[in-house]
Structure 1
Amino acid sequence: MKLHRAKRAAAKPPQLDCRQLANADRRQEFQLALSNQFAQLADSEDVDEEEQKIAEAIIDSTCPLCPPIRRRTQPWISEKCLDLVGERKKAKLVYFERYRQLNWDIRRMMKRDREAFWDQVAHDLEEAALRHEYRTLYRTLRGLSGKSKSTNDNIKKADGTFVRSTAERLQRWKEFFDGLYNHDPPQGPPAAPPVIDLPPTPMSDAEPTLK
């Protein structure tokens, strides 16, 4: 029996911070770079190969403009703090005094960032409560708790197919409630009221006694 060495899974490409494209200048630069990449693509009869080339062109155009998203253990850690963490990692084996100083600076910065983050969260919650935006209030509290409840949003049409858009979902709910509450009135004579059997002994209206 011959054992085969397990193949290592290919490393996933880093996630890019595409929020940078919200800037008009960067978005225009991205569109220009993407147009140049598409102009250099050669036609291929293989659909999978064509898809791979398009994906690579998009990634090559995005990488210079959108830095990779760096992993955070806490949401309140700032980019500047992550820069200091990277610098501390380099100085650990080279310059120990610099490493100690950076370690102290990182602790102070993380404490300041944490306080600023929670102050902003408290301010946002107060503003949402004052404006009676209970959906925003509940969504923020649910995000802070770290608990998420998955919901099944698969809605079928009358023909058995699934809805694909918000408009189709609303239309399907309208059809459901129309069929549930809007119907023809009952036909024929009205139903007779139920017969109530009276007790065999009539009840007395006299004041009750102990006898």
Structure 2
Amino acid sequence: MSTPEPLSPAALADRLAGLLAATDPEPGAAALRVAVDGPDVAAPGRLAADVAALLPARGRRAAVVPAAGFLRPASVRLEHGRTDPDARYTDWLDVSALGREVLDRVGPGGPGDVLPELWDVVRDRATRAARVPVTGVLLVPGALLQGVGLAFDVVVHLRVSAAARRRRTPADQQWELPAFDRYDDEVDPAGLADAVVLADHADRPALVLQGRYA
């Protein structure tokens, strides 16, 4: 594990882009599969987009496929109500679909094209999106992505402490907090990740390298 490296948000994206550009996918894979894992308050989607924008200049194509496009239908996701933290932890993400339609397809032996989204949460229906080819680096931003068997090659975890989560989470999302407490306790996402972004303060992140980057 490296010493935390304080960075500006822009420098953080640049540093991660450099690391990913220098990391090869598995033999026979179309793309390096990267999780950008963190709660909404840490804005994993923004970081993924910022990193993806920097990769072509480093000779690597990049695509972003948000995990939010692979949530389950409302009949499953909200079966126990709209504010059940246990359901948020175990029932919201369609893990099988994300693996089957995205990660496996750019992994070793896959055809190299992915479904960019499966389910429209607002309309609560399938999006019927067409598959798109992906090569280089595939970034999948989202929450609670580790410990469920998804085939990521690299995991970047945006760590927000429990106290900071409580401080920064909007009132209408506070019900989700026990799900993230449980995630920390049961999965230890910061311990499993290859790169940990200390993100208690959005404007003052710090990067810790471990795992494959130790």
TM score, norm. by length of structure 1: 0.18
Please state which structure has a larger fraction of its residues in strand. 2
Larger Rg: 1
The higher-RCO structure (CA 8 Å, 6+ apart) is 2
TM score, norm. by length of structure 2: 0.18
